[in-house]
């Protein structure tokens, strides 16, 4: 079990849907290149974590028998660049792809809605209260559609502006509803865009009007498929073009999840309707904590950020790198983690006080404690 209280106490941002942070394989993190977004869809789905995370905090992995080791694991925070890139590729890209398939199976094109709210109001406030107000308002907004028999399923991302105001960006599966009707139902300004590509031939520059830019968007089938301004067509039979659309939407949505866009007091900035979550969200596989060596579950506990821990417990980093595992005072090693594991008897009687082994000056005392039995 992950100790969520400790995790939150350490200032961590929770993953968006699950509390199981550690459905993972255990490997050392190494500085390395990131997976490219160009070949994202299926090819990378087996990758379980980014190759490198500068912040990777410490976790304690505990066997059913009460032995443990300390490991560094990726933080998975959106504000961490490598983890964010990894999550865009492994979670957001497949999610957007599933969304476009869903809309298309209903004969619709997916839409991007930007919902604004007046400055100074609770709906645009970057705070937990503002977050709550927005989610309540979104529920009512959805009901405005469903009451009329119109589907309205979405993924929403909150964006904080430099001005301090918060906007909501929604990727939506819905039938065609005129913009003024959507705006009336929301109550404030709404920008509606079809999901597509900017026309490479005629997409206008920054100074152009919203209408001119919309005219030069190429909306993939079941949309028009070509530019309504200049007629430029895209070969939609080529999956690379569709992958471009997916990648652009994924980047668009995730640009609001960076460190710069961090919001005070707001932990969860992405929300999904229930049907959306079931249909489109990438669920990380559960229960990889099963250990083939002892044929039992291992538990994971968040210990703390690496920078702080390595300062307070100088031996921790070395022990983790040397694949040291511990059994409690009076206990015995187990078969877990393979034969490269170095087993050490801890000064602690239980895993939860295992950091004692890494306290400064503790090393001298440990030398006087009997080592592991010879086998
Ligand atoms: Zn990270
Ligand atoms: Zn064009
Ligand atoms: Zn085991």
User: Residue 257 Cα, ligand 1 centroid: separation in angstroms?
Assistant: 13
Interval between CA 58 and ligand 1 midpoint (Å): 12
Q: Which residues contact 15 (CB under 8 A, 6 or more apart)?
A: 21, 76
Structure token digits, residue 173: 């599966």
Residues 6+ apart with CB under 8 A from 139: none
- How high is the pLDDT of residue 46? 47
Global pTM value: 0.73
Rounded distance from Cα 217 to ligand 2 centre (Å): 7
Whole-number Å distance, alpha carbon 323 to ligand 3 midpoint, is: 14
Nearest ligand to the C-alpha atom of residue 68 = 3
Predicted pLDDT of residue 83: 87
Q: Compute the distance from residue 21 Cα to the ligand 1 centre, in Å.
A: 12
- Ligand 3: distance of its center to the CA of 91 in Å? 29
CA 150 to chain centre: 30
Q: Which residue has the tokens 């492994």?
A: 90
Give the ligand with the smallest distance to the CA of 213: 2
- Exposure string for 348-368, b = 16+ CB within 10 A, e = fewer: beebeebbebbbeebeeebee
User: What whole-number distance in Å separates Cα of residue 184 and Cα of residue 196?
Assistant: 25
| 20 C-alpha to ligand 1 centroid (Å) | 16
CA of 25 to the centre of ligand 3 (A): 13
Give distance in angstroms: CA of 238 to centre of ligand 2.
19
Q: Domain locations in the chain?
A: 4-76+285-367, 81-280
Ligand nearest to the CA of 212: 2
Can you give the pLDDT of all 375 residues of the chain as single tens digits? 233 333 333 333 333 333 233 333 333 333 332 233 333 333 444 456 777 788 788 999 999 999 999 998 888 888 888 888 888 988 999 999 999 999 999 999 999 999 999 888 999 888 889 889 999 999 999 999 999 999 999 999 988 777 778 889 999 999 999 999 999 999 999 999 999 999 999 999 888 998 899 999 999 999 999 999 999 999 999 999 999 999 999 998 988 887 666 666 666 688 999 999 999 998 765 445 788 888 888 888 889 989 899 999 988 999 998 999 999 998 999 999 988 899 999 999 999 999 989 887 655 555 554 545 444
Cα-based angle 368, 374, 70 (whole degrees, multiple of 5): 65
Q: What is the pLDDT of residue 134?
A: 92
d(CA 108, CA 103): 5
Amino acid 4: pLDDT: 34
What pLDDT is recorded for position 78? 84
């Amino acid at each position: 079990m992950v100790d969520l209280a400790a995790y939150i106490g350490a200032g961590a941002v929770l993953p968006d849907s699950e509390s199981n942070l550690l459905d993972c394989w255990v490997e050392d993190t190494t500085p390395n290149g990131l997976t490219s977004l160009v070949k994202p869809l299926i090819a990378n789905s087996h990758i379980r974590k980014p190759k490198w995370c500068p912040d990777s905090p410490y976790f304690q992995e505990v066997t059913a028998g009460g032995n443990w080791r300390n490991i560094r694991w990726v933080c998975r925070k959106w504000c961490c660049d490598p983890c964010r890139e990894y999550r865009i590729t492994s979670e957001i890209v497949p999610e957007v792809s599933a969304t476009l398939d869903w809309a298309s199976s209903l004969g619709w094109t997916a839409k991007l809605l930007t919902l604004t709210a007046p400055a100074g109001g609770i709906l645009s406030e970057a705070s937990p209260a503002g977050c709550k107000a927005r989610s309540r308002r979104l529920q009512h907004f959805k009901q405005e559609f469903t009451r009329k028999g119109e589907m309205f399923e979405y993924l929403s991302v909150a964006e904080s502006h430099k001005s301090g105001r918060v906007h909501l960006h929604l990727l939506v599966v819905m039938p065609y509803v005129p913009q003024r009707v959507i705006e009336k139902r929301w109550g404030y300004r709404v920008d509606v865009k079809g999901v597509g590509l900017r026309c490479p031939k005629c997409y206008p520059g920054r100074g152009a009007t919203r209408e001119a830019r919309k005219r030069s968007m190429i909306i993939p089938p079941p949309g028009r498929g070509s530019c309504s301004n200049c007629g430029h067509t895209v070969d939609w039979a080529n999956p690379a073009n569709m992958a471009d659309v997916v990648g652009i939407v994924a980047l668009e949505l995730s640009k609001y999840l960076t460190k710069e866009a961090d919001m005070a007091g707001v932990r969860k900035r992405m929300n999904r309707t229930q049907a959306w979550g079931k249909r489109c969200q990438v669920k990380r596989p559960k229960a990889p904590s099963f250990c083939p060596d002892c044929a039992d579950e291992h538990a994971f506990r968040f210990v703390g950020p690496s920078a702080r821990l390595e300062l307070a417990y100088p031996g921790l980093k070395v022990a983790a790198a040397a694949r040291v595992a511990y059994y409690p005072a009076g206990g015995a090693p187990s078969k877990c983690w393979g034969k490269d594991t170095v087993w050490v008897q801890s000064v602690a009687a239980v895993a939860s006080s295992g950091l004692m082994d890494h306290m400064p000056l503790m090393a001298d005392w440990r030398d006087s404690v009997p080592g592991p039995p010879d086998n």
